[in-house]
Amino acid sequence: MKPTNDEIRRINQVQRDFFSGLIHVFDPPLPEGVPERLEKIVASARINKGETVLDVGSGTGILIPLIRAYQPRTIFACDLSEAMLAHLRKQYPYAHAIAADVREISLPNDSIDVVIMNACYPNIVDKDSSIANISRMMKPNGRMVISHPMGKSFIDSLKEKSPFPLDDFPQRSEAQDLFEAYGFEIQDLIDEPMLYILVAVKKDRVERYHE
């Protein structure tokens, strides 16, 4: 059952408060192997020079310099935590920070080439509205990457102590059922003990059943 708007706002506030107190956790040095896996995650988006990229759940901006290496025209960084984004703005002033739930981002239709949701998909409360909004903003043939550099088991290890609910990363069939309704096709799925990457591509033609 889809949560109510009040419940979504309540959980988002819990997450906002929680992550605002963990800024230091995301500072270097990162655990062994994580930088290399983050590079693989960003590479899977196949960012071309001059494209527009949206980093959802950007936190303090761990992916921003990796994205910038591909010379995109614009980088948007979205996060619930204004404290995280304040840290990001200091380090990466060239990124455009957006403090919002991804389901409420108001960028224009067909304006985004790549969306990366790294280490945040399980936290997203309203996945249907979020994917619908991403589809609206994304250009045809755009790429959506859902990932975690520590794999699905890392999320499992957090569930009991998390102050907010955490969902699993989707298997291929589950992802296809959810994303196909919003015009995406699953292109690739890596599900390894220490790495999860799902790449979905926006179809050329989308019948917007959910508008």
Rounded to the nearest integer, the mean pLDDT of the chain is 93
Cβ atoms of 76 and 54 closer than 8 Å: yes
> If pLDDT is split at 50, 70 and 90, which confidence band does 3 have?
confident
Is 123 inside any structural domain? yes
Q: Is pLDDT at 26 greater than 90 in this prediction? A: no
Cβ atoms of 44 and 188 closer than 8 Å: yes
Report the number of distinct structural domains present in the chain: 1
> If pLDDT is split at 50, 70 and 90, which confidence band does 205 have?
low
Full residue range of the structural domain in which residue 163 is found? 5-23+31-202
Is 95 inside any structural domain? yes
Tell which residue, 113, 112, 117, has the closest CA to residue 78. Answer: 117
Q: Is pLDDT at 209 greater than 50 in this prediction? A: no
> If pLDDT is split at 50, 70 and 90, which confidence band does 208 have?
very low
> If pLDDT is split at 50, 70 and 90, which confidence band does 21 have?
confident
Is 168 inside any structural domain? yes
Task: Convert the pLDDT of each residue in 51-68 to its tens digit.
Answer: 999 999 999 999 999 999
Is 210 inside any structural domain? no
In the prediction, which pLDDT does 24 show? 76
In the prediction, which pLDDT does 87 show? 94
Task: Convert the pLDDT of each residue in 136-154 to its tens digit.
Answer: 999 999 999 999 999 999 9
Is 128 inside any structural domain? yes
CATH number of 154's domain? 3.40.50.150
Is 92 inside any structural domain? yes
Is 211 inside any structural domain? no
In the prediction, which pLDDT does 108 show? 98
Cβ atoms of 46 and 67 closer than 8 Å: no
Q: Is pLDDT at 27 greater than 80 in this prediction? A: no
Is 208 inside any structural domain? no
